Amino acid sequence: MNLFVGINNSGKSALLRALSYPLPDNPHKSLEDVGFAATRPPKVELKLRGPLNELWIRHKRTRTEPTFPALSHNNSTEGQQRLLNLLNNPPDAIELEAERNINSTLISSEGASIRELRDPTGQLALSVQFHDGSFRAVSRAGNPDNLPTFFDNEASESYFYFAPERVKVSRYQMAEEKRLRPDASNLPAVLAYAQSRRAPLFERIEAHMAEILPGIERITIAPREQTFEILLWPSRKSELNFSLAESGSGRRRNKHVPAFRRRS
């Protein structure tokens, strides 16, 4: 079992979303990308490193037939021999390079997941068999290099991503709400009331927010299609604000900041 541990907004949920399928259409935002984030579609690049026999076992466990990349150079015999030499005399670990775009499965980078066997002039994909302790019987594969696909197939059964509970309270219908409900479902409306009618109270809440969540400077409540939505601001630049629904799913209490208490 692998555990990801870190403070709020350190990227734990973002990592799990990047590993999951499909990849959400949620571009990364940063001070360096201001003005460009909206035109740059999300893309994830992965390097998967492990022993060759583990790669083979994982493909068999997910009931997929691995197809390997091979150099072509207009000479398939040379490409086959190069691949067999690598498979039968492997290094301590094989490194696969893969990428995922919006709504796509994990695919090989630039047509070949193994950099040493990448051939931009004409990529081959080959099937192999393991017999009597060695790889043999190479044949042309009907499908392209699919080595990284074991990760998608296995991940769908071996890890879980739980959506953060507060996604439920990031939006609420437009209404004048003065008292927070026990399940906090009307939080956006309550904060909208405080923002417009009780500015000093809203500023205190905002100050507490900045103390508890490092990297968040302020919050605002914005109208969205007959609803109120909570927006978080890591800086004063409007291009970088994002919905509470897109924030990390962890919870952390600063021991120097007292918990909020309900007043009767």
* Last residue of one domain, picked from the residues 97, 123, 158: 158
Is residue 47 located within the same domain as residue 130? yes
Is residue 146 located within the same domain as residue 233? no
Is residue 124 located within the same domain as residue 90? yes
Poorest-pLDDT segment among 55-69, 88-102, 160-174, 225-239 = 160-174
Is residue 216 located within the same domain as residue 192? yes
Tell me the residue range of the domain where 85 lies: 43-158
Is residue 53 located within the same domain as residue 104? yes
Q: Is residue 24 part of a domain?
A: no
Structurally, the chain folds into a number of domains equal to 2
Q: Is residue 19 part of a domain?
A: no
Is residue 146 located within the same domain as residue 173? no
**Beta strands per DSSP E along the chain:** 43-50, 67-70, 94-101, 107-108, 124-131, 134-140, 171-173, 218-224, 227-233, 242-243
Q: What was the pLDDT predicted at 248?
A: 61
- Does the pLDDT of residue 171 top 70, yes or no? yes
225 class by beta-carbon count within 10 Å (0-12 exposed, 13-18 middle, 19+ buried):
exposed
Is residue 105 located within the same domain as residue 206? no
Calculate mean pLDDT across residues 95-107: 88
Is residue 182 located within the same domain as residue 116? no
CA distance 134 to 27: 45
Q: Is residue 2 part of a domain?
A: no
Q: What was the pLDDT predicted at 191?
A: 95
Q: Is residue 172 part of a domain?
A: yes
φ, ψ of residue 90 in degrees (nearest 5):
-75, 155
Q: What was the pLDDT predicted at 259?
A: 34
* Last residue of one domain, picked from the residues 142, 158, 174: 158
Is residue 210 located within the same domain as residue 183? yes
Is residue 50 located within the same domain as residue 148? yes
Q: Is residue 38 part of a domain?
A: no
Q: Which residue has the higher pLDDT, 143 or 84?
A: 84
Contact assessment for residue 23 and residue 44, using Cβ atoms and an 8 Å cutoff: yes
* Last residue of one domain, picked from the residues 132, 158, 184: 158
Q: Is residue 263 part of a domain?
A: yes
**Under DSSP, is residue 92 helix (H, G, I), strand (E, B) or coil?**
coil
Is residue 93 located within the same domain as residue 147? yes
Q: Please report which confidence band the pLDDT of residue 255 belongs to, taking 50, 70 and 90 as the band edges.
A: very low
Q: Is residue 35 part of a domain?
A: no
Q: For the chain, give the mean pLDDT.
A: 80
Q: Please report which confidence band the pLDDT of residue 34 belongs to, taking 50, 70 and 90 as the band edges.
A: low
Is residue 154 located within the same domain as residue 51? yes
Q: Is residue 255 part of a domain?
A: yes
DSSP for 167-201 reads GGGSEEES----S--TT-TTHHHHHHHHHHH-HHH
Beta pairing partners, 110: none
Q: Please report which confidence band the pLDDT of residue 252 belongs to, taking 50, 70 and 90 as the band edges.
A: very low
Contact assessment for residue 64 and residue 149, using Cβ atoms and an 8 Å cutoff: yes
Poorest-pLDDT segment among 48-57, 66-75, 121-130 = 66-75
